Amino acid sequence: MNAVRKPGATIGAVASCAGLAIALSAGAAAAQSAPALDPEALYERCMGLARQAPEEAVAIADAWALAGGGNPAEHCMATALFTLGDYAASAGRLDRLAARVEPSQPDLAVELLLQASTAYGLSGQDGDAVATLDRAIVLRPDDGQLLLERARLLGQRGEFPAALADLDRAQELMPQNPDVYLLRAAARRRLGAFDLALSDVETGLSLDPGSPDLLLERGNIRRLLRDPEGARADWRSVIDAAPGSAAARAAETNLSRLNLN
pLDDT per residue over 94-124, tens digit each? 999 999 999 999 999 999 999 999 999 999 9
> What digits encode the pLDDT tens for the residues 17-65?
445 534 323 443 443 344 445 888 899 999 999 999 999 999 999 999 9
Tally of CB atoms within 10 A around 252: 15
CB 81 within 8 A of CB 93: yes
Look at residue 80 in the predicted model and tell me its pLDDT: 97
Rounded to 10 deg, the angle between the 144-156 and 126-139 helix axes is 160
- H-assigned helices in the chain: 24-33, 39-52, 54-66, 70-83, 87-99, 106-122, 126-139, 144-156, 160-173, 178-190, 194-207, 212-224, 228-241, 246-260
pLDDT of residue 23: 33
pLDDT of residue 37: 59
Query: How far from 110 is each of 71, 97, 103, 113, 155, CA to CA, in Å?
Result: 15, 11, 11, 5, 21
Percentage of the chain lying above the pLDDT 90 cut:
81
pTM (predicted TM-score): 0.83
- What integer pLDDT is reported at residue 27 of this predicted model? 40
Distance CA 116, CA 14 (A): 13
For residue 259, what pLDDT is reported? 78
Task: Say which range, 23-32, 38-47, 134-143, 235-244, has the weakest mean pLDDT.
Answer: 23-32
The domain ranges of the chain are 12-119, 210-261
Q: Dump pLDDT digits (tens) for 187-200.
A: 999 999 999 999 99
What local confidence, expressed as pLDDT, does residue 62 receive? 94
pLDDT at residue 28 in the model:
34
Closest residue by Cα to residue 136 from 164, 172, 176, 94: 94
**Residues present in the chain in total:** 261
Specify the pLDDT at position 52.
95
> What separation in angstroms does the CA of 255 have from each of 20, 168, 237?
50, 31, 12
Question: Is residue 87 within 8 Å of 123, Cβ to Cβ?
Answer: yes
Average model confidence (pLDDT) for the chain? 88
